[in-house]
A and B are shown apart, each in its own frame.
Chain A
Amino acid sequence: MKLTRRNLLILSSAGAAATAMGSLPAFATLTDDEIGKLTGGADLGEGAITITAPEIAENGNTVPIEVDAPGAVAITLFADGNPVPNVATFNFGPLAASRSASTRIRLASTQNVVAIAKMEDGSFQKASANVKVTIGGCGG
């Protein structure tokens, strides 16, 4: 294949897609390391967390994300394609009416947003959502 700008773009986006699928685990490892630190390697259940995120983000600078995990004491968000995967941790206090929160985050490229919830019984839950980040047309 001739190395043109277009082919390079195709290659790099293929790379990003492969990363999302886990066959190129460079970023995923970083996120897994952080998750390991958080959970101490505990098993991760699924089904208790709902992530609301756009399927396609118009601009990676400001991506609205909502997490909801009934029964959680804390929820930590990771972005597995960012240079630093950690995004935020929400610790819920006694006056929190729900175990949910919304914020706006930065995503460097198309990737998975991963939420880890620490539940009241000390167990952990995991959920993830793929967000496609588009490159703008003008001044991109």
Chain B
Amino acid sequence: MTNTLWTTLALIGLGTAVGAQDSNSLSIEGESIVTEVAAPAHMENVDTIYSGWRFRSAETQALEMDDFDNPAFVFVEQGMDLWDKVDGAAGKACSSCHENIEDFAGLRTQLPRVDDGELVTMENLINECRTDRMEAEPWKWSKGKMTAMTGLIGVQSRGMPMNVAIDGDAAPFWEKGKELYYTRVGQLDMACSNCHEDNYGMMIRADHLSQGQINGFPTYRLKNAKLNSIHGRFKGCMKNIRATPFKEGGDEFKALELYLASRGQGLSVETPSVRN
């Protein structure tokens, strides 16, 4: 499989395209980012995992190397405004309880996780704060305010390796996610694995298929010029294979998120990444 990746890179000339640095090694604001690492033991069919950054053109790659050039930071800054904004009946802002946003360093690497028998994502934790402590309306899963906040909290973990728990309480959720990953659905009768495991590195029309890693989410996509949530991306994939998407924030997508996060164990958090 590795050979296929590099053959395709060479064939379409991405390997030789102009760029500020070797397109195989990513450094963001001087910090080195792991974009390639041995696959975790539980992955039976893949030897090496790669960040989606490796599959993009030199120009798109360059956008992620500098926080000013990265348009996602427009939204991260909006997240900072929201962080200090009082909302809800309790008269609180995020910053009323959480002193430093930096204290969230590492959180992104461990999510989703099981809390009291329930699988929770960052969106769940944010909305729990909003409804229980701030007495405010929950935010919609993939709308601008939520992705700005998940981007802001996520970037605190940038450069740290993905490290979700998949044993113990998490095991049944992880098994469910794995089953979904390999289950064919939709009119095109395709599973996640058909593109992102069997054929990564190949071209799907003019697009370079990645391994479908989620270590860079929420991600700024050139296609829609905004931050995209993990579940929003799942939904897009399901529509593309002509399947009826599961609900954002529902049990299926949460389980799939856990399984996909575990397929990226060891890759650096790249939040907020830039993709096609």
* Nearest-CB residue, chain A, relative to B71: A62
18 contacts between A and B (CB under 8 A): A54-B18, A55-B13, A56-B12, A58-B56, A58-B60, A61-B222, A61-B225, A62-B71, A62-B225, A135-B206, A136-B207, A137-B204, A137-B205, A137-B207, A138-B207, A138-B237, A139-B239, A140-B205
**Residue of B17, B59, B203 with most chain A CB atoms under a 10 A cut-off:** B59
Tell me which residues across on chain B come within 8 A of A134, comparing CB atoms: 205-207
B172 at the interface (CB under 8 A from A): no
B131 at the interface (CB under 8 A from A): no
* Nearest-CB residue, chain B, relative to A52: B18
Tell me which residues across on chain A come within 8 A of B56, comparing CB atoms: 58
* Nearest-CB residue, chain B, relative to A62: B222
How many angstroms between the C-alpha atoms of A11 and B57 in the bound complex? 27
Tell me which residues across on chain A come within 8 A of B258, comparing CB atoms: none
Tell me which residues across on chain A come within 8 A of B71, comparing CB atoms: 62
The 4 lowest CB-CB distance pairs between A and B, nearest first, are A137-B207, A137-B204, A134-B206, A59-B222
How many angstroms between the C-alpha atoms of A134 and B18 in the bound complex? 18
Count A/B pairs, Cβ under 8 Å: 58
Interface code A58-78, partner B: CB below 8 Å = 1, 0 otherwise?
110111100000000000000
Pick the contact of A136: B58, B59, B206 (CB < 8 A): B206
Interface code B180-219, partner A: CB below 8 Å = 1, 0 otherwise?
0000000000000000000000011111010000000000
A51 at the interface (CB under 8 A from B): no
Question: Assuming the A-B contacts A61-B225, A62-B225, are A136 and B276 also in contact, with contact meaning beta carbons closer than 8 angstroms in the complex?
Answer: yes
A48 at the interface (CB under 8 A from B): no
A57 at the interface (CB under 8 A from B): yes
B223 at the interface (CB under 8 A from A): yes
Pick the contact of A61: B17, B206, B223 (CB < 8 A): B223
**Residue of A55, A56, A57, A138 with most chain B CB atoms under a 10 A cut-off:** A138
B91 at the interface (CB under 8 A from A): no
B240 at the interface (CB under 8 A from A): yes
Tell me which residues across on chain A come within 8 A of B225, comparing CB atoms: 61-62
Tell me which residues across on chain A come within 8 A of B207, comparing CB atoms: 134, 136-138, 140
How many angstroms between the C-alpha atoms of A130 and B256 in the bound complex? 42
Whether B240 and A138, one on each chain, are in contact in the complex, defined by CB atoms closer than 8 angstroms, is yes
How many angstroms between the C-alpha atoms of A61 and B63 in the bound complex? 14
| Cβ distance A82 to chain B, nearest Cβ, rounded Å | 17
Tell me which residues across on chain B come within 8 A of A62, comparing CB atoms: 71, 222, 225
| Cβ distance A50 to chain B, nearest Cβ, rounded Å | 13
Question: Assuming the A-B contacts A54-B57, A58-B56, are A139 and B204 also in contact, with contact meaning beta carbons closer than 8 angstroms in the complex?
Answer: no
| Cβ distance B259 to chain A, nearest Cβ, rounded Å | 20
Whether B237 and A137, one on each chain, are in contact in the complex, defined by CB atoms closer than 8 angstroms, is no
Whether B205 and A139, one on each chain, are in contact in the complex, defined by CB atoms closer than 8 angstroms, is no
Whether B240 and A58, one on each chain, are in contact in the complex, defined by CB atoms closer than 8 angstroms, is no
Whether B206 and A64, one on each chain, are in contact in the complex, defined by CB atoms closer than 8 angstroms, is no
How many angstroms between the C-alpha atoms of A136 and B205 in the bound complex? 7
